[in-house]
Amino acid sequence: MKVKGDVVKEILEELKSLPFVEEVYITSPREGADVGLLIKGRGKASERIHDINTAVNSVATSSDNPEEWVFVSWEWEEVEGR
């Protein structure tokens, strides 16, 4: 059984591995979420939403036990390409 802190750490690592993500910050979660994230990266959110949701959900809901799932709210901030 993983603790939520370990799952959040894995989510951050998964997001940072995406080639278009520059930085990820933990923020206040929206209502109903366990953790909030601010993701800064290249491109528009509409272009990245599928990849971000796939990365988050592959870790956040990987347990067979729904009580161990981590619910994430996230915001996207577009940054200039580097």
Determine if the pTM surpasses 0.95. no
In 3D space, the residue among 7, 3, 6 whose CA is nearest the CA of residue 56 turns out to be: 7
How confident is the prediction for the chain on average, in pLDDT? Answer: 92
- Superfamily name and number for 4-78: ANL, C-terminal domain (3.30.300.30)
**Residues written for the chain:** 82
pLDDT score of 8: 93
- pLDDT for residue 74 is more than 80: yes
Q: What is the pLDDT of residues 8-18, one digit of tens each?
A: 999 999 999 99
Domain residue ranges of the chain, discontinuous segments joined by + = 4-78
- Is 68 within 8 Å of 1 (Cβ atoms)? yes
Question: 42: helix, coil or strand?
Answer: coil
In 3D space, the residue among 57, 45, 49 whose CA is nearest the CA of residue 10 turns out to be: 57
